[in-house]
């Protein structure tokens, strides 16, 4: 069986380095907000090109804090792609703001040409979600934001290291939000996340908010959260960060093999936006025969995943927003057509060959 993802492979590529770091953190006697977090924040900021990085407990917390830090809440609207992961929408609604959905383009990310038509006097921000290791069109998004005086938050949970015209995602908008959930391209060995920004005041307030609103012991400036990246995750992420570029290169190689090798009239291959250097968080194909293809792959020992089967506007969690089937037809069709093929670090050549062979043998 070739799984859709196998996290052990990635661990095994550098197992002794992680084991050494884990023992070092265990023996340090310091487990929250110590030197590992400080060092990781500096190293990740330097890697992305952002001025500040603030370690947090998850990607969802980064999104929740991002809108709070921009003072976006009750009565405000945030524009987001309709085919987003549900956490993107939760980051908006937890703050009391309303999501305003925009359909994706053929690169599976927000269609920037459709953003201006949904701007209202209540619109405060655009959440640019860089899905599947690609990047949104950040030229158009930043230009629209400047013209309408909107803030821009980037969701980079699937785009660590992804480049838009030579600059990394997470460095265009006011705030970049990252997740280090284990399956992400820079994944930890548990939960984790961070926020990047060039704004000194936003970074300082974020450091306070992640720690109960406290900047000094037992002094509380405002009601905050407990959302801290822990020392173990930070230490292990520091190790993994030194290998992130080689991991991205490996994913690009797998993607090239798929793009060159897969030929099937029923399958549309992913189309990377010109100007993007993708890090291939997922290799997402479209097919009118998705469920049939998924079952056929499984019968032939190839795993796959669906990102995502239910768009947020049709999720039970957002029934109260009053959306209906048919409101976002492109997104709804994608939810029925998308399938993610195996894509993970440590895949063997034989596995890549086998995936191509099985996919090419599919008959609808």
Q: Which range of residues in 6-14, 55-63, 116-124, 219-227 is near ligand PLP by CB under 6 A?
A: 55-63
In the complex, minimum distance from the CB of residue 274 to ligand PLP, in angstroms, rounded to a whole number: 22
Q: How far is the CB of 307 from ligand PLP (least distance, A)?
A: 8
Q: Binding ligand PLP by CB under 6 A: which of 129, 138, 152, 272? A: 129
Rg (CA), the chain: 20
User: Closest CB to ligand PLP among 52 and 184?
Assistant: 184
Check the CA dihedral 11-249-160-314 and report its sign.
Answer: negative
> By the 8 A CB rule, do 176 and 151 touch?
no
* Cβ-based nearer residue to ligand PLP, 58 or 262: 58
Site for ligand PLP in 142-161 (CB under 6 A): 155, 157-158
Beta carbon of residue 56, minimum distance to ligand PLP (angstroms, whole number): 9
Q: Judged by CB under 6 A, how many residues of this single chain contact ligand PLP?
A: 14
Tell me which stretch binds ligand PLP (CB under 6 A): 81-89, 101-109, 283-291, 324-332.
Answer: 81-89
Question: At closest approach, how far in Å is the CB of 293 from ligand PLP?
Answer: 23
Binding mask 86-115 for ligand PLP (x = CB under 6 A): -xx---------------------------
* Contact pick of 99, 193, 224, 235 for ligand PLP (by CB under 6 A): 193
Query: CB-wise, 164 or 181, nearer to ligand PLP?
Result: 181
227 versus 362: smaller Cβ distance to ligand PLP: 227
**Which member of 179, 185, 233, 304 binds ligand PLP (CB under 6 A)?**
179
Q: Binding to ligand PLP by residue 58, rule CB under 6 A?
A: yes
Stretch that binds ligand PLP, among 54-62, 164-172, 297-305, 313-321 (CB under 6 A): 54-62
The 3 state secondary structure assigned to the chain is CECCCCHHHHHHHCHHHHHHHHHHHHHHCCCECCHHHHHHHHHHHHHHCCCEEEEECCHHHHHHHHHHHCCCCCCCEEEEECCCCHHHHHHHHCCCCEEEEECECCCCCECHHHCHHHCCCCEEEEEEECHHHCCCCHHHHHHHHHHHCCEEEEECCCCCCCEECCEECCCCCCEEEEECCCCCCCCCCCCCEEEEECCHHHHHHHHHHCECCEEECCEECCCCCECCCEHHHHHHHHHHHCCHHHHHHHHHHHHHHHHHHCCCCCCECCCCCCCEECCCCCEEEECCCHHHHHHHHHHCCECCECCCCCCHHHCHHHHHHCCCCCCCHHHHHHHHHEEEECCCCCCCHHHHHHHHHHHHCCCC
Q: Pick the binder of ligand PLP from 44, 101, 164, 181 (CB under 6 A).
A: 181
11 belongs to the binding site for ligand PLP (CB under 6 A): no
Q: How far is the CB of 192 from ligand PLP (least distance, A)?
A: 7
SS (H, E, C) 142-153: HHHHHHHCCEEE
Residue 59 vs 311, nearer CB to ligand PLP: 59
Q: Is 229 in the site for ligand PLP (CB under 6 A)?
A: no
Which of 60, 145, 186, 267 is in the footprint of ligand PLP by CB under 6 A?
A: 60
- With CB atoms as reference, the residue minimizing the distance to ligand PLP is 59
187 vs 342 by CB, closer to ligand PLP: 187
Report the nearest approach of ligand PLP to the CB of residue 68 (Å). 16
Taking residue 88's Cβ as centre, other Cβ atoms within 10 Å add up to 25
- Give the Cα separation of 43 and 46 in Å (integer): 5
Using CB under 6 A as the binding rule, whether residue 64 contacts ligand PLP is answered as: no
Q: Are 88 and 158 in contact (CB under 8 A)?
A: no
Interface contacts to ligand PLP, rule CB under 6 A: 58-60, 85, 87-88, 129, 155, 157-158, 179, 181, 191, 193
């Amino acid at each position: 069986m070739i799984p859709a993802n196998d996290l052990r492979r990635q661990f095994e590529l550098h197992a002794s380095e992680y084991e050494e770091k884990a023992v070092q953190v265990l023996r340090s006697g310091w487990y929250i907000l110590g030197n590992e977090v400080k060092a990781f924040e500096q190293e990740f900021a330097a890697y992305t090109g952002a001025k500040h990085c603030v370690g947090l407990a998850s990607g969802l917390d980064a999104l929740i804090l991002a809108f709070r830090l921009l003072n976006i809440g009750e009565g405000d609207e945030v524009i987001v792609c309709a085919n987003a992961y549900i956490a993107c929408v939760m980051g908006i609604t937890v703050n009391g703001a309303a999501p305003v959905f925009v359909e994706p383009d053929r690169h599976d990310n927000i269609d920037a040409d459709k953003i201006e038509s949904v701007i209202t006097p209540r619109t405060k921000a655009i959440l640019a979600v860089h899905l599947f290791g690609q990047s949104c069109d950040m030229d158009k998004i930043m230009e629209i934001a400047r013209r309408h005086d909107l803030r821009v938050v980037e969701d980079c949970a699937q785009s660590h290291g992804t480049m838009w015209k030579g600059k990394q995602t997470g460095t265009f908008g006011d705030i970049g939000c990252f997740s280090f959930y284990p399956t992400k391209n820079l994944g930890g060995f548990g939960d984790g996340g961070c926020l990047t920004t060039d704004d000194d005041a936003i970074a300082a307030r974020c450091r306070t908010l992640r720690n109960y609103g406290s900047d000094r012991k037992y002094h509380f400036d405002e009601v905050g959260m407990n959302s801290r990246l822990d020392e173990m995750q930070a230490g292990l992420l520091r190790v993994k960060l030194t290998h992130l570029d080689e991991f991205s290169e490996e994913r690009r190689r797998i993607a090239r093999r798929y793009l060159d090798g897969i030929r099937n009239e029923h399958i549309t291959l992913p189309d990377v936006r010109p100007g993007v250097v993708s890090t291939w968080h997922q290799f997402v194909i479209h097919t009118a025969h998705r469920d049939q293809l998924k079952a056929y792959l499984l019968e032939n020992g190839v795993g796959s995943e669906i990102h995502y089967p239910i768009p947020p506007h049709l999720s039970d969690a957002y029934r109260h927003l009053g959306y209906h089937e048919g409101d976002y037809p492109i997104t709804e069709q994608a939810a029925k057509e998308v399938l993610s093929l195996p894509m993970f670090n440590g895949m063997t050549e034989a596995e890549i060959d086998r995936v191509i062979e099985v996919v090419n043998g599919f008959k609808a």
